[in-house]
Structure 1
Amino acid sequence: MFRLAHFSDIHLGPLPAISYRELASKRITGYINWKRNRRLNLDHGVIDRITDDMLAADPDHIALTGDLVNLALDKEIERAALWLEDLGPADAVSVVPGNHDAYVPGALARACRAWKPYMTGDGGEASRVGFPYLRVRGQVAIIGVSSARATAPFMASGHFSASQAKRLAAILDATGRDGLFRVVMIHHPPVRGATHTAKRLYGIGRFQKLIRRHGAELVLHGHTHKPTVHRIAGSEGTSVPVVGVSAAGQAHGGAKPAAHYNLFDIDGGSGQWRIRFSRRGITDGNGTVGEVSGALLTDEAQAG
């Protein structure tokens, strides 16, 4: 059995000191939002409790689907790199960036440089950051896709490009031939209607068409701050679960569901995979962490 933990949308805080020059951009709207809303709803003690419980579950690997920071300030990016080092070794933690990590032009490149050990594939890719990347751990292929890009004020959309699609298709084919359980990580949900237009993923049709042709066993995303399970068509009549997660620092009693992480126990083999899925997170106002829900995510076509 392989145990995979998934969480997202850390939004590490508090914000460092910020200059007027740094605010002379889209960051001004994000700064106002932080002051009015986000800093009140995010509890960084919650992140500690969530990660402590996650590590106690002894996962074989951890998947983090973006938004480590808030305004992509240089000091935030540096702090996030140190936080990742405390979380675990780079070969045991895989990261893809979110829209907040690419908040302004140039920020994504800086984040990728700072977090490179956690965002590069096995073998020859280790010297550079490139998406999609592939890591193979046991019978599981962990594939990191980037949907992050800088956007205009009041926008938080993502993009899945044709060039990434071509490379992802080749990775899915190769790992499928090897009989691996293929996990695709992406920040924005590749599902229509999962979020409103200003926050949507551009390229949903391209992504879904690719999965329908080349297959996958599981897709993980963040961005919405909601615990969701959708399904999209896979290859040969299968369906692929697309699983979202609450923000890892969300305090109890807010407008969005309280913080949690996803835990997947994967066993079986090619064509007969079994996935035990549970959500563990904050269950009360005292910050208690426990199981929120659990289910089997066996493919519907296999189950039938």
Structure 2
Amino acid sequence: MPSFQIAHLSDPHLPLAEYPALDEIRFKRLLSLLSWTLKRRHLHKAAPLARVMDDIRRFQPELVALTGDLTNLGLRSEFRRARQWMQEQALPLTLLVPGNHDALIPQNPAGKAALWADWLKTGTSFPSLLLKDHIALIGVNSAVPTRPFFASGKLGAAQAERLRAVLLKAGQDGLCRVLLIHHPPVANLVSRRKGLDDMDLLQSVLRDAGAELVLHGHSHRATLACIPHTEIPVVGTTSASHSAGSPDTAAGWNAIAVHPQAGHWAITVLRRELGTDGIMRDGPTHTFTPHRLSASIRL
């Protein structure tokens, strides 16, 4: 069976084109608008994002994993603009999970989610599931509205139990299970006020049910960790629209190749990053060889 290519990107934070309507004004949204006006609009630019998307298309992945934060304030107009942007990219099969900016306040979440239904693929609830050949992209929603000055996330017990069932079934079917989540599921990658509140619960589910790879965003940094007491790799990526500079924060994405082997998977993660000269280059490469739980797939 041939190798399979996945592109992982996150936090594009598409440029804010409109201010909130009167019925959308909330204190937390005003704080985010102030942050965008004073700081973040100078960091997140259309040009770096265009470079990243061109680079992804050049690699021709079979699947795309997008781990949230297409918006800045979670406005209706931003959701519509993000839908248009996604359609313009002409990407292959894509699974999207929302980020904290996409769920900034609890205002018409169902209507907004409907605009992204082509990529959320949730049916009635999370986890979402996208199957392609021997790959299972599994998405969970950690994006919940929080009080001002917080950007934390939470899965909740019900979603965690559904995730356990999905992971177990995909493992029994011999699939390579790639979990998508916005918030990092390990400690020390973001501050506590930005972290995953029930991180211990998710880690317990992953230890019990297993996964081959976890992808996240939110930190705006290129990072590598693992779920404690397991060999499950946890890979983060920078914002896809961040200006060039430090390789740890410059716009980029992860090119992931999954190679089925007898009894295990060979997973290679190549970091692609934007240089200050505007050219995308190879960054570090990491290879993992998780054990396959089932022999139901023939090589």
Same fold (TM over 0.5): yes
Distance in 1 separating the partners of 2:263 and 2:187: 27
In the TM superposition, what whole-angstrom CA distance separates every residue of 1:272-292 from its partner, at most 9, and x where no partner exists?
100111011202x22111112
Name the counterpart of 1:198. 193
> Which residue type is aligned with residue 282 of structure 1?
L
**Structure 2 CA distance for partners of 1:245 and 1:107, relative to 1, 3 Å:** farther
What do you get for the CA RMSD once the two structures are aligned? 2.0
**Is structure 2 residue 159 aligned with structure 1 residue 164?**
yes
Name the counterpart of 1:113. 114
Name the counterpart of 2:88. 86
**Is structure 2 residue 277 aligned with structure 1 residue 277?**
no
CA displacement at 1:15 relative to structure 2: 3.3
What are structure 2's unaligned runs of at least 5 residues?
Answer: 292-299
* Maintained 8 Å contact 1:282/1:288: yes
Name the counterpart of 1:213. 208
CA displacement at 1:222 relative to structure 2: 0.2
- Counting only pairs closer than 5 Å after superposition, residues 1-304 of structure 1 correspond to structure 2 as 1-19=3-21, 21-88=23-90, 92-106=93-107, 108-120=109-121, 128-233=123-228, 238-253=230-245, 257-269=249-261, 271-283=263-275, 285-299=276-290
CA displacement at 1:197 relative to structure 2: 1.1
CA displacement at 1:117 relative to structure 2: 1.2
TM value normalised by structure 1: 0.90
Distance in 1 separating the partners of 2:90 and 2:198: 32
- SS, match of residue 237 in structure 2: coil
TM value normalised by structure 2: 0.92
**Structure 2 CA distance for partners of 1:14 and 1:63, relative to 1, 3 Å:** same
- SS, match of residue 63 in structure 1: strand
* Maintained 8 Å contact 1:102/1:150: yes
Distance in 2 separating the partners of 1:88 and 1:183: 22
Distance in 2 separating the partners of 1:255 and 1:73: 31
**Structure 2 CA distance for partners of 1:116 and 1:231, relative to 1, 3 Å:** same
CA displacement at 1:120 relative to structure 2: 1.1
Equivalent pairs counted in the alignment come to 290
Name the counterpart of 2:297. none
What are structure 1's unaligned runs of at least 5 residues?
Answer: 122-127
CA displacement at 1:297 relative to structure 2: 2.4
> Which residue type is aligned with residue 118 of structure 2?
P
In the TM superposition, what whole-angstrom CA distance separates every residue of 1:132-153 from its partner, at most 9, and x where no partner exists?
0111111001101000011111
**Structure 2 CA distance for partners of 1:150 and 1:107, relative to 1, 3 Å:** farther
In the TM superposition, what whole-angstrom CA distance separates every residue of 1:57-114 from its partner, at most 9, and x where no partner exists?
010100000000000111111000111112235x701100000000111253333111
Distance in 2 separating the partners of 1:4 and 1:113: 25
> Which residue type is aligned with residue 208 of structure 1?
Q
Distance in 1 separating the partners of 2:245 and 2:6: 28
* Maintained 8 Å contact 1:112/1:129: no
Identity %: 37
Distance in 1 separating the partners of 2:228 and 2:54: 35
- SS, match of residue 30 in structure 2: helix
More helix by share: 1
> Which residue type is aligned with residue 157 of structure 1?
S
* Maintained 8 Å contact 2:266/2:289: yes
CA displacement at 1:293 relative to structure 2: 1.8
> Which residue type is aligned with residue 132 of structure 2?
R
CA displacement at 1:202 relative to structure 2: 1.1
Distance in 1 separating the partners of 2:205 and 2:262: 19
* Maintained 8 Å contact 1:72/1:107: no
* Maintained 8 Å contact 2:212/2:233: yes
